[in-house]
Amino acid sequence: MAKAKTAKAAKSEAKKSPAAKLPAIKVVKPTKEFVQNGKPFVMIMAGGSGTRLWPMSRVHRPKQLINITGRKTLIEEAVDRAKLLTTPDRIYIGTNKDLAQKIQKIVKLDKKQYLLEPAARNTAPIIAYFTAYLKAHGADDASGVVILAADHHIEPAEKWAETVKLGLARAGERIWCIGVKPTRAEIGYGYIESGIEIAPRMSAISSFREKPDYQTANHYLTTERHFWNAGMFIFSLGRMREDFRIYQPEMLKLADQSTQSAASLEKTFPKMQNISIDYAIMEKTKKVGLIQADFSWDDVGSFDALARINPADEHGNHVISGKVISHRAKGNIVRTPFTIALLGLENCVLIEDNGVLLIAKREALSDIKELREKAAKELH
């Protein structure tokens, strides 16, 4: 039989853990805002950069701050959708300090509803921190929680809200993902394979597959069980924290300690592993489920997404803004403040933003990151 650890050995081992050095988390008495009342807490993750949409999207103005449809910015659309689920005081935005200042100019939420990451750490740490923040402020384990991305285009929003509410009704059972039936062999998305049916449009998950090759993605089009992973998650606070406790206990400890003060957040958050929620939790837990979407969805990750979102005109061109005169020209994506005359031009993009004009063949857009790196630093 192994000998029990001596007090000295246990103390020495505790010193190795960065979380062990910090004081225990103090749970405050819940205020009205955090009392369980059937309204979920929503966090919109808004820390990405969207370099594939350069020059529209840049470091100082990532794609969530861009007007894609001619109506509102993507972050405004995300907040509007969240308001279909809950009240504004329960909507939070996870981002960094610089972006928060820009978002606050267009999204009118209280500053305390911005969860500021001291360092970029992918999606698992900010989600862990959000659950810790809610717990520290007295939110009940039964509270529904919804995690969204700031750069999605979804229509119609009402259908989306109905789908999310299916998950909220069973939020204590599983962490629910939303799956979108694929319409093309997309190698840039993650996929979910559905398992045993639980209820209409709801099933267990058999497996996850990150960004498959073209042949595999093309095969997924022929099955009835593979879906795009839309990157949205629905769960109860207790359900997610239990999975973090099992699969990422150190991250959960650090997240809990991060809520103690601004200084604790600055010190502790960067110590968390840089990992996505997909790898940290979703691919490990058995308590996971799929809800099939009945709405259109796009993550607006490239200029081709603009063509999908903005239907072609009578001449076959996708005009987001500007006036286009064309003859024997089709398949072009145009976003400029000018009048553009197109003659014999096919399958190109013409994108103008703040004095930078991008002209490219659509099949060459996979190299746009390399082109961006050649631009002057202030244009990044």
Mean pLDDT of 317-341: 92
* Phi, psi of 110, deg, nearest 5: -65, 145
Residue 205 has pLDDT above 90, yes or no: yes
Confidence at residue 36, expressed as pLDDT on a 0 to 100 scale: 61
Confidence at residue 49, expressed as pLDDT on a 0 to 100 scale: 64
165 and 86 within one domain = yes
Counting the structural domains of the chain, the total is 2
Domain edge (last residue) among 241, 263, 298: 298
Task: Determine contact, residues 241/131, Cβ cutoff 8 Å.
Answer: yes
pTM for the predicted model, two decimal places? 0.85
Longest Cα separation, the chain: 85
Residue 242 within a domain: yes
Region class of 240: left (phi > 0), else alpha (psi between -120 and 50), else beta: alpha
Residue range 267-278, pLDDT digits in tens: 999 999 999 999
Confidence at residue 6, expressed as pLDDT on a 0 to 100 scale: 46
Q: Domain residues for 346?
A: 304-379
CA 323, CA 72: separation in Å to the nearest integer? Answer: 20
Mean pLDDT of 194-205: 95
Residue 162 has pLDDT above 70, yes or no: yes
Domain edge (last residue) among 267, 298, 329: 298
Residue 378 has pLDDT above 80, yes or no: no
Residue range 347-366, pLDDT digits in tens: 999 999 888 899 999 999 88
Residue 377 has pLDDT above 80, yes or no: no
Confidence at residue 37, expressed as pLDDT on a 0 to 100 scale: 63
pLDDT grade for 227, boundaries at 50, 70 and 90:
very high
Residue 108 has pLDDT above 70, yes or no: yes
178 and 53 within one domain = yes
Instruction: Kindly report the three-state secondary structure assignment for every residue of 200-256.
Output: CCEEEEEEEECCCCHHHHHHHCCCCCEEEEEEEEEEEHHHHHHHHHHHCHHHHHHHH
Residue range 22-35, pLDDT digits in tens: 445 555 565 666 66
Residue 172 has pLDDT above 60, yes or no: yes
Amino acid at 195: G
Task: Determine contact, residues 124/251, Cβ cutoff 8 Å.
Answer: yes
317 and 246 within one domain = no
Q: Mean pLDDT in the chain?
A: 87
Residue 277 within a domain: yes
Residue 352 within a domain: yes
Q: What is the CATH number of the domain that holds 286?
A: 3.90.550.10
Residue 148 within a domain: yes
